[in-house]
């Protein structure tokens, strides 16, 4: 994963196991904040993050044509901001990554998974607000 330094513009490679932590720019040593936004991922990036993440991961399976998915978008963003440093939030576009949706037997969207240590600890189909998603992640933290 790449984080761009806000001070000098340097691109910094961050290992998936460290995405939830504050980092430092390799060039100017400025602080790189924790990931606080949903990350749109492909299958390879998804696999890396889920395998190496040290915190629970909420995955939002969605598609552009899905009105409930678009309604969930701001809630997912709010969740990522609120849980920064304690969880990661991924977005998987089921139109671009159908094999990933098939792996988890996704039949309806929006669909949310919480994974911890690569294992599914919670799953839910349908629209939910950020408070409900947060409770799923907090349960996922305990299910280590």
Catalytic residues, which ones? 66, 69
- 3-state class of 37 per DSSP? coil
Compute CA distances 142 → 47, 62, 89, 138, whole Å.
22, 26, 17, 7
Residue pair 38/76 in contact by the 8 Å Cβ criterion: yes
Euclidean distance between CA atoms 90 and 49, whole angstroms: 9
CA 71-75-76 angle, to 5 degrees, is 105
* C-alpha neighbours within 13 Å on the C-beta side of residue 80: 21
């Amino acid at each position: 994963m790449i984080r761009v330094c806000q001070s000098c513009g340097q691109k910094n490679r961050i290992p998936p196991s460290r995405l939830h932590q504050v980092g430092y720019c390799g060039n100017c040593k400025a602080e790189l904040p924790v990931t606080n936004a949903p990350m749109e991922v492909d299958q390879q990036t998804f696999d890396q993050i889920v395998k190496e993440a040290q915190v629970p991961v909420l995955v939002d399976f969605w598609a552009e044509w899905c009105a409930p998915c678009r309604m969930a978008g701001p809630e997912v963003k709010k969740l990522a901001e609120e849980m920064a440093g304690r969880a990661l939030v991924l977005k998987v576009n089921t139109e671009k990554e159908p094999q990933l949706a098939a792996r988890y037997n996704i039949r309806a969207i929006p669909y949310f998974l919480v994974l911890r240590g690569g294992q599914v600890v919670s799953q839910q189909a349908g629209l939910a607000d950020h408070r409900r998603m947060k409770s799923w992640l907090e349960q996922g933290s305990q299910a280590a």
